[in-house]
Structure formats: C-alpha cells, structure tokens
Amino acid sequence: MATALVPGSFDPVTFGHLDVIERVARFFDSVIVAVIRNPQKSASLFSLEEREAMLAEVTAHLGNIRIEYFAGLLVDFAKDHGADTIVKGLRAVTDFDYELQMAQMNQTLTGIDTFFLATSPQYSFLSSSLVREVARFGGDVSSLVPPQVAARLIQRFKEES
Ligand code: PNS
C-alpha cells in the first residue's frame, strides 16, 4: 500500500493545492496531507485548526485522504506515519531551486524520495500569499480558492478591519 505525503503551510488551501492533492490521490493508495504547525514565513493568517478544517472540508469528496499536522522535520513525520514518498507541486522554475534543495536534503536525511508534479497551467501563478493579499484588499478570490475558503477569508478580514 503506497502512501504519499503532501506537506505545506496551506494558509489557506487554494485551488492549486487542491488540484495537486486530487491528482496525487489518483496515483497512490492513500495520501496524507501534512500541515506544518508553525509556518516559517510570516505569522500565519489562519490557525493550525482552521487550516486543517478547511483542508478537510475541501477534500471531503476524496476517500483516501487524511489530514494531519506536523512540527519539526518532515522526514521524521514521514517515517512515523509510514509515508513512502513526498509529493510536491511545482508551479514554475522559480519553485525549482528551493524544492530541489529540500528534496535532496530529505533524501540525504532518511532516503525518502520526493516526486514533483507539474501544477496545472491555470494555477501556475497561484500562491496562498497572493490570495491573502488580494483578499485583504477586498479583491475577488472566488476563482482562486474553494467557496468555503473564500468565505473564511472575507470573514477574517472583516474581523481585522
Ligand atoms: O507550503 P510551504 O510553506 O511551501 O511548505 C513548506 C514545507 C512545510 C513543506 C517545508 O517548509 C518543510 O518541509 N518544513 C518542515 C521542516 C523540515 O523538514 N525542514 C527541512 C527540509 S529540507
């Protein structure tokens, strides 16, 4: 039984993430979507619980997905959860250097391999950080994130204003 691990910050989950998760779910028996507890970047907009809840809602139609969270090294989480491979979506060449470096570090640490999946072209510009920015200033994110996520973004920025 092959298990894939799809890690990320998911702050929030976008149609780009969902596209990758749905496609990975077709190739593996089971998929663990692993949400990092404390994203390194900026302070996260959504709490871990909110990010997990949104992921659970938007992947509810898929039967072989589990949402988990992790802290610390991804490779340790992979080993503890019996994941055979890490899968990452690649949007553009700008993702590649950093993703390659992480894949090689992870392979060096425990031997786990990373598969890269080309993002569907209609999502190659899409990132959670841009979605947050567009939503923060009242832009329409309905083509970028699932409706439940768009609703939470609107609510979050209403609370902040
Ligand atoms: O959605 P993101 O922010 O691009 O996801 C990055 C993530 C969470 C996949 C990456 O930062 C990660 O794996 N962090 C865990 C810490 C770790 O294992 N670091 C060593 C990687 S070489």
Q: Which of 9, 30, 51, 91 is catalytic?
A: 91
- Do 81 and 5 touch, CB atoms closer than 8 A? yes
Each residue of 80-110: pLDDT tens digit?
A: 999 999 999 999 998 999 999 999 999 999 9
Closest atom of ligand 1 to CA, residue 40: 11
* Ligand 1 in reach of 89 Cβ (< 6 A): no
> Is 116 exposed, middle or buried (CB count within 10 Å of its CB: 0-12, 13-18, 19+)?
middle
Closest residue by Cα to atom 4, ligand 1, is: 8
* 8 Å CB contact between 37 and 48: yes
pLDDT for position 42: 63
Closest by CA position to 8, among listed 80, 104, 120, 91: 91
pLDDT for the residue 71: 96
Q: Quick: pLDDT tens for 140-151.
A: 999 999 999 999
Judged against a pLDDT cut of 70, whether residue 20 lies above it is answered with: yes
Mean predicted lDDT score pLDDT of the chain: 96
pTM score: 0.96
